[in-house]
Amino acid sequence: MKDIETPGDIKLLVDSFYDDVQLNPLLGNVFNNVMRTNWEKHLPKMYGFWENIVFQTGNYRGRPFLPHLEVNAKETLTSNHFNTWLQLFHQTIDKHFSGPKAEELKFKSQNIKEIWNFKIDYINNYDALSEEQK
């Protein structure tokens, strides 16, 4: 297998990953039923996001955490959501790629998962504590 080298590789990774996400009972529910994802709009954003993560292209302009807050307001995101996301993402990388960039992407995605899971967990627990104090 080859390493992640081109924007085409990112497209393959993202498309394959989201194919699996849609079939996953936990994540598929969030993307298909809670978010009602418009895949024609979502996928190009993800190409730009991950190209920027891997190749530092500057192709992504946005606030990637904000949509997760919006989802969390509709359905509470848990560690299980983030762990499932990371497991599927790493499986997808391993299915298609091998090499330094692939390993770097697994490391960076692990960091994203940890930070975003921590933030969402803090928000959910802070909100719960605030409600108890009322």
Q: Select the CATH number that applies to the domain covering 7-133 from these four: 3.40.50.720, 1.10.490.10, 1.10.1200.10, 3.20.20.140.
A: 1.10.490.10
pTM: predicted TM-score of the whole model, two decimal places = 0.91
Alpha-carbon span 16 to 13, nearest angstrom: 5
**Residue given tokens 């990637």 in the structure block:** 64
Contact 76, 124 (CB under 8 A): yes
Please list the rounded mean pLDDT of every run of 10 residues in the chain (134 residues).
97 98 97 95 96 92 90 95 98 98 98 96 76 54
**Residue given tokens 């993307």 in the structure block:** 31
